[in-house]
Structure 1
Amino acid sequence: MKPVISLRDLEEMLRQGRDVRALPPDAILTPSARDFLRELESNGALKPRSSTGTAAAQPAQGAEAKPQPPAQPLSSKSPRAELEAFFHSAWCRELKEQMCDIGRRLWERAYVDGNGGNIAIRVGEDLALCTPTLVSKGFMKPEDMCLVDFEGNQLFGNKKRTSEILMHLQMMKAQPKDVASVHCHPPYATAFAVVGITPPTCVIPEYEVFVSVAVAPYRTPGTPEMAKLVADLVDKYNTILMGNHGVVTWSHNNVEEAYWRAEIIEAYCRTLMVAAHLGRPINTLTPQQLKDLLKIKECLGFVDPRYGLQECELCHNDDWRPGVTCQVPAKPETTVGYDPEAEALVQAITDEIMAQLK
């Protein structure tokens, strides 16, 4: 009898990290399974199948299909067996490797020290992968990663999850587009956070397009208070300077982009500090030039609180230097002229009233 392959069979294969192309040549696919494979093919993960509905021939030696997420997102309420299979799936393994790679890059750039910094990736309705606590980000292994729900409860992982996971989770709750976030302590950007100054705008195009920065006041790291202060800002900002602490960034695309923002804010702050010592005023973009960059930024889907502002409001930098401000014409003061006849009439009426009261 020919084997019948259902959608559930394919999903189970993916959860176990198996290649869904490794089907028996005479396998019969159910309609939903066939549609699922077509979707994978359209994403470039599979080669087209034959017209008979069977799986296509195996790819050339050395070629591997890109791991795919579950067809239906899991949640903390999913069966534990499914969650465990998901946590050990090829797709999660790839994300864990990305987290290790980014952790190493953070460490090599001296954006973290000791066991500092943490990374989180949304992987389900209320699930996230995160880095462990008390482990140098430069020497993490995929098996060190943890799976947590959005309340911070650890579901899987050999090591204990990061103590600052609540901040990442609150960010994801407050900003549904947040799929990944990176927290680190790059020295130049952290210097701005220590003094509580937002870097000036209208200087470098890459900064204007890729990041939007706000400062959150200090609270004890890992506490709900710190998490809330940061989460309250992610609606309009994707890069938060955490007072006396560091930087946290998020992305609506992937963890790599969140890491890029850490690089961009650090390079920008370093450039500003170097330029400030050259003895010349910093040249700035015009409001119209910034407006053009914001159009690009909006098309890319990045958040920014300046959308819709007038040109004269775009390059105002109170914390760093005075910028252009919108000049609202003052209303002319109204003055009441002296009218002798009116004054005489008022006085006459007053005298008559006073005489009648005697």
Structure 2
Amino acid sequence: MKQVISLRDLENLVRQGRDLRELPADAILTPAARDFLQEWQARQAGLPEPGIKTGSGSAPGGGAGSAPPAEVSSASSPAELEAFFHSDYCRELKEQMCDIGRRLWMREYVDGNGGNLAIRVGKDLALCTPTLVSKGFMKPEDMCLVDFTGRQLLGKKKRTSEILMHLQIFQRQPRAVATCHCHPPYATGFAVAGLVPPTCLIPEFEVFASVAVAPYRTPGTPEMGQLVAELVDQHNTILMANHGVVSWSHLGLEDAYFKMEILEAYCRTVLVTAQLGKPPQTMTPQQLRELLKIKQELGIPDPRYGLRECELCDNDQWRPGVTCTVPPRAAMESDLDPEAEKAVQVITDEILARWK
């Protein structure tokens, strides 16, 4: 079995003075471990470390950008909030929200004015998309600044009507820095059916997504947000019954959007597989456990951590459809009532005797 090596494993080896060039050639490195190894190799060779940009900071949108200004909150003065809202830092986040909105629209994950995005930008502040604006045609100046009660502080347009759900996710899950809500057709089909997609089929889904279903409530209400928020401790992607999907990320907005791409592609693949008339080939529990180890190292939640192997690939609730087959004759005969069969035979014999 190939060894899975995490970032923590590499850090421990370095502390012990070990040479990372001695790693097994066929070892599987987590993405974070791979980046660490590349940086270590660059240092050993005296080269600039890959991925490092001078003078750039990290924004909660997910990419390198302007460093955030001094922290602000809903208690900051109007002048401080105004300066923050129009800072280069917020400008870059607003531009990214427009970019993600266009991607959602082009992939047909939203229609009309549907969908909304939010980014945590302070202790109790968030940027969000406006209401009644197509996500494919937003402009940076359309974005809004709200506090965690949903009160709009700045922005020319009115904030999204579903902001409470995003804010309740931020409040329940302190690691969440960005949220994405939309209506991708295949994933929303599962939401309408009230089904969590089956597991143990595709590695990317197992590593990057953790899905649950929240019951339906009227969109935009505190009740809807509460039901979603109750699930975000152990799941990063929530199917909203009869509505759509919302995801959160601890890395940034683009990563929250990636959760949508991964889920939608997965749901589409599952439905195609279900039409082939053959049971899908699933991973073994041990294979899934290896993926869950990678997932845990990446800091992605999953309720299956710590489960026994026999519980890892439990898809009992998944019913992709009905396969009509004729059972073997032996199985049919085993279900027959002998006494009833005798009675039928007697009646049949009497009828045949009268015809003679």
| Category of TM-score, reference length = shorter chain | 0.7 to 0.9
Q: Paired residue for 2:222, among 213, 221, 224?
A: 224
**CA deviations over 1:19-38 (Å, ceiling 9, x no partner):** xxxxxxxxxxxxxxxxxxxx
Equivalent residue number for residue 97 of structure 1: 95
With a CA cutoff of 8 Å and minimum separation of 6, indicate the structure with the bigger relative contact order.
Answer: 2
**66 and 227 in structure 1: CA distance in 2 versus 1, 3 angstrom threshold:** closer
Which one of the candidate residues 158, 161, 164 is aligned to 1:160?
A: 158
CA offsets 1:2-32 (integer angstroms, 9 cap, x no match)? xxxxxxxxxxxxxxxxxxxxxxxxxxxxxxx
Q: Which residue pairs with 1:12 in the alignment?
A: none
Letter in 1 for 2:294: I
Q: CA deviation at 1:165?
A: 0.1
Runs of 5+ unmatched residues, structure 2: 1-51, 57-63, 321-356
AA of the residue aligned to 1:91: Y
Task: Write the deviation string for residues 47-102 of structure 1: whole angstroms up to 9, x where unpaired.
Answer: xxxxxxxxxxxxxxxxxx941102x4211001111110000000100000000000
Q: Identity across aligned pairs (percent)?
A: 73
The partner residue of 1:178 within 176, 179, 187 is: 176
Distance in 1, matches of 2:152 and 2:294, equals 39
Please report how far the alpha carbon of residue 281 of structure 1 lies from its aligned counterpart in structure 2 after TM superposition. Answer: 1.1
Query: Aligned partners of 1:276 and 1:218: how far apart in 2?
Result: 26
Tell me the equivalent position of 2:191: 193
| 1:123 counterpart SS class | strand
Equivalent of 1:45 in 23, 43, 55: 55
Partner of 1:67: 66
> What corresponds to 2:104 in structure 1?
106
Deviations 1:166-221 (A, max 9, x none): 00000000000000000000000000000100000000000000000000010000
Structure 2 Cα separation of the partners of residues 185 and 170 of structure 1: 20
Higher alpha-carbon Rg: 1
CA RMSD of aligned residues (A): 1.4
- 2: CA distance between counterparts of 1:110 and 1:319? 29
Normalised TM-score (structure 1): 0.72
Query: C-alpha distance in 2, partners of 1:66/1:197?
Result: 39
Distance in 1 (alpha carbons) for counterparts of 2:150 and 2:134? 21
Distance 1:135 1:219, change over 3 A: same
| Counterpart selection for 1:81 from 79, 82, 85 | 79
- For structure 1, the residue ranges without an aligned partner over 5 or more in a row are 1-41, 47-64, 323-358
Distance, in Å, in 2 between the alignment partners of 1:78 and 1:183 is 29
The aligned counterpart of 1:123 is 121
Q: Which amino acid aligns with 2:113?
A: N
Number of corresponding residues: 262
Counterpart residue type for residue 232 of structure 1: E
- 2:310 matches 1:300: no
Residues 191-340 of structure 1 mapped to structure 2, 5 A cutoff:
191-320=189-318
* Structure 1 residue 278: Cα displacement: 1.1
State the secondary structure of the residue aligned to 2:122.
coil
Query: In structure 2, the residue corresponding to 1:278 is in which secondary structure?
Result: coil
For 1:78 and 1:43, locate their aligned partners in 2 and report how far apart those are by CA, in whole Å.
32
User: 2:188, 2:237 → 1: CA distance?
Assistant: 12
Runs of 4+ in 1 over 4 A off after TM superposition: none
Q: Report the TM-score when normalising by structure 2.
A: 0.72
Aligned mates of 2:220, 2:210 — CA distance in 1: 23
Over 3 Å counting, the alpha-carbon distance change for 1:73 and 1:43 in structure 2 is farther
Whichever residue aligns with residue 242 of structure 1, its letter is M
Kept in 1, the 8 Å contact 2:191–2:243? The answer is yes
Q: Distance in 2 between matches of 1:44 and 1:236?
A: 36
CA distance, structure 1, for counterparts of residue 117 and residue 187 of structure 2: 18
| Equivalent residue letter for 2:221 | T
Alpha-carbon distance between aligned partners in 1 of 2:297 and 2:157, rounded to the nearest angstrom: 40
1:90 & 1:78 partners in 2: Cα distance?
Answer: 18
Give me the whole-angstrom Cα distance separating, in 1, the residues matched to 2:228 and 2:172: 10
**Per-residue displacement from partner, 1:274-295 (whole Å, max 9, x unpaired)?**
1111121111000000000000
